Structure 1
Amino acid sequence: MLERLLSLFHPGTTVTPLPKADEQHALGALLVRAAKIDRAYLFEEVEEIDHVLAALYDLNPVEAAKMRARCEKLESAMPDTAELAEVLHQHISDDHLEDAVRALWSVVFSDGNEAAAEDALLHEIEAILGVSPERARELHDEEMAKSGRFPS
């Protein structure tokens, strides 16, 4: 119905539906949120998101960029971080929880900065995913070291 209403104002255009809020898109949306939380969505972060999606889901660069674009739409449509993280938590296996946290930290570190807002967001997500604060700190430090920075 909404699509029909919008088409009245913009004839000849179609509304792209939101992607399904599955594990892959929920993680992608959280990656986008982690990149945007400091109010600067930089090329390095976009590039890292594409790299992470390609590696995790065996996508080529074009498929990864298209998936990121769908995840950007999902991220903007779902303002509640806890809801997105809960979708991920419900659908991700315990074996992949730490991979998701690593991916999130890799996006945070991709621009060379770690803002307080990023830390707060990632700690919120880690808690929802059930990653202990101790293990979360270890994953943070591992990803920081990979980025060329050193844990404090």
Structure 2
Amino acid sequence: MFRRLLPRLLGEDPAGPALSRDDAEVAVAALLVRLARADNHYGELERARIDALLSLRQPLSPDEIADRRAAAEMVEAEVSDTRRLTAAIRTRIARDQCAGIMVALWDLARTDGAETPWEIATVDRIALLLGIGTADGAQAGQQIDLTTGSET
């Protein structure tokens, strides 16, 4: 999965198959992983929250979710440019659905306590690259009920 996905995400194989919705969902998962790693601590609590957030995006089995997160971890490690990940998302996921991505990012940032300056900067950059803007991205962060981790 990973070896076929990376060239499509990076646009290295223009003659290859087009980027699918599932590919874009791996890019979303890679952004979640990027955020989780932003504070140099990527632990089991964050992995479990990423899995939960992925299961909310699409009905997948636990094994499929684990596979998607594993692919996302590899993509995140290989693709150093957040702009490429967000470009893959913008081409396959409707702009109005990007607000849900922002809510998921803020939810994840608060998983292990208050968000750090690195996490805030990462979320703000992703919002800008998705064409959302930091004000709308911050508004998405306010939609999270910190006691349950769900949208209000």
Q: TM-score range by the shorter chain?
A: 0.7 to 0.9
User: Deviation digits for residues 58-117 of structure 1, max 9, x if unmatched?
Assistant: 112221111100110111010111221121122210221101111111111111131101
How far apart, CA to CA, are the structure 1 residues paired with 2:133 and 2:41? 29
Identity of aligned residues (%): 29
Residue 43 of structure 1 corresponds to which residue in structure 2? 44
* Structure 1 stretch displaced more, 62-71 or 130-139: 130-139
Note if 1:19 corresponds to 2:8.
Answer: no
Aligned residues: 132
How far apart, CA to CA, are the structure 2 residues paired with 1:37 and 1:133? 18
What runs of 5+ residues in structure 2 fail to find an aligned partner? Answer: 10-22
Counting only pairs closer than 5 Å after superposition, residues 3-152 of structure 1 correspond to structure 2 as 17=3, 19=5, 21=9, 22-143=23-144, 146-148=145-147
Of structures 1 and 2, the larger Rg is shown by 1
How far apart, CA to CA, are the structure 2 residues paired with 1:95 and 1:71? 23
SS in 1 for 2:143: helix
How far apart, CA to CA, are the structure 2 residues paired with 1:68 and 1:124? 21
Residue 9 of structure 1 corresponds to which residue in structure 2? none
| RMSD across aligned positions (CA) | 1.7
User: Deviation digits for residues 16-46 of structure 1, max 9, x if unmatched?
Assistant: 6253532111101000000001000011110
Runs in 1 of length 4+ with deviation above 6 angstroms? none
Q: Normalization by structure 2: what TM-score? A: 0.80
Q: Normalization by structure 1: what TM-score? A: 0.80
What runs of 5+ residues in structure 1 fail to find an aligned partner? Answer: 1-15
